Amino acid sequence: MTEVENGVGPTRAAAFFDLDRTLMAGSSGIFFARAAYETGMISRRRLARDAYENLRFRLRGSTDDRADQVRKRVGEMISGVPVRELQRLSPRVLAGVLPRLYPQMLERAYAHQDAGVPVYILTAASQEMADLLAHVLAFDGGLGSRSEIVDGRYTGRPAGPFNYREGKVLSMRELADRAGIDLEASYAYSDSESDLPMLRAVRHAVVVNPDAELRRIAGEEGWEVLHLDRLGRRLKVLAAVGAVTALGGLGRVLSEHVGTRGDPRALQLRAVGPRREPSRRVGPRRRARR
């Protein structure tokens, strides 16, 4: 515990964990999309598009444009949908998310708790998803993007900050005010340059599976860097193996060429094939003249 400088009550540090590519491999959104497809909420084409975006996200991280597009699309999709209907998707979503959690990150979270530091999921995913995962993982709470609910149905409009870029810091400050948390003594874990406001709002920033820009900034800031997601490395290895295989075939041709260089007859044989000897006529032997 530390005392607030202005003397208004005790405060404590907290640890904030981003979800996608930080607590888990890939994006939780793809599992929501699959569950929505299975219940007829979205089309197969939309599901395929979301799967592609998930792979791209794992390899390159998030962008502002894609985040805005996702929020708009989800708002349109849930407009008018009963809250209970989305709640019933939870078992399907959890079945996809839980196996993709990083054990190393759960160990980190539980180590914070054991040291008396409360742990929160901080994600652009829905508040319902954040609450559900926080409950299942025995975290102290979840901070997600809230959607407006009227008469038990979603309106498609936001009901609070979108937890992306500065929006995450707004949610952190709201919690800090309610729970007496000192952000300047706290911890934050994330993978993306878009979460720089979140990482800079705390004393202890840790980057996990960082995108290129965040990796550069982490080096400049001296932040701890964790590499857990091996998908990008596996794809690079496969690409390298393919290139080596192709070069190997080319190398054999070149080596054969180099081996025959300086021997015109050998080069001629490679070009036109082996030379055939003229055939000899086999027949009765001529009698010698006397």
Residues assigned a catalytic role: 18, 20
Contacts with 166 (C-beta within 8 Å, 6 or more apart), sequence order:
197
CB 167 within 8 A of CB 146: no
CA distances from 6 to 9, 10, 178 (A): 9, 10, 16
Dist. CA 199–CA 24, nearest whole Å: 18
Contacts with 277 (C-beta within 8 Å, 6 or more apart), sequence order:
none
**Please, where are the H alpha helices in the chain?**
29-38, 44-60, 64-78, 83-87, 90-97, 103-114, 127-136, 166-179, 196-200, 212-221, 231-260, 264-272
Of the candidates 156, 131, 129, the residue with the CA atom closest to the CA atom of residue 142? 131
CA distances from 14 to 8, 146, 167, 202, 257 (A): 18, 21, 18, 9, 67
Instruction: Work out the angle between the directed axes of helices 127-136 and 90-97 (0-180°, nearest 10).
Output: 60
